[in-house]
A = this chain, B = another copy of it.
Amino acid sequence: MKKALAFDIGGTKIYSTIIDEAGNIISEIDKFATPKTLDEIKQLLKTQIEKHETEVDIIAIATAGAVNNENNRVLGSTGNLVEGYYTIDFQALSNKKVFLENDANAAAWAEYKIGASKGSNVSVMLTLGTGVGGGIIINNQILKGKSGAAGEMHFKMYPDKRRKCTCGSWDCFEAYASGTALKWDAEEMLNNPDVTTYDVMEGVKNSNPQMIAIFDRWQNDLTMGIIGLANIFDPDCVILSGSMAQFVDTKKVEENVNKEIVTTPISVKKGIAGNYSGMIGVALLAIERSF
Contacts and interface: CB of A to CB of B under 8 A. Distances in A.
Interface size range on A against B: 35 or more
A229 interface: yes
A234 B145 contact: yes
A261 interface: yes
24 contacts: A75-B264, A121-B146, A122-B150, A138-B138, A144-B234, A145-B235, A146-B235, A147-B263, A149-B263, A153-B231, A153-B232, A154-B228, A154-B231, A154-B262, A155-B228, A155-B231, A156-B224, A157-B159, A158-B158, A159-B176, A159-B221, A159-B224, A168-B260, A169-B227
Contacts of A176: 159
A159 B283 CA distance: 38
Counting every copy of the chain, the complex holds 2
Contacts of A152: 231-232, 234, 262-263
Nearest to A136: B232
A220 interface: yes
Specify which of A76, A172, A232 lies most central, judged by the most chain B CB atoms within 10 Å of its CB.
Answer: A232
Contacts of A147: 234, 263-264
A126 B262 CA distance: 17
Specify which of A136, A149, A151, A221 lies most central, judged by the most chain B CB atoms within 10 Å of its CB.
Answer: A149
Specify which of A139, A148, A221, A234 lies most central, judged by the most chain B CB atoms within 10 Å of its CB.
Answer: A234
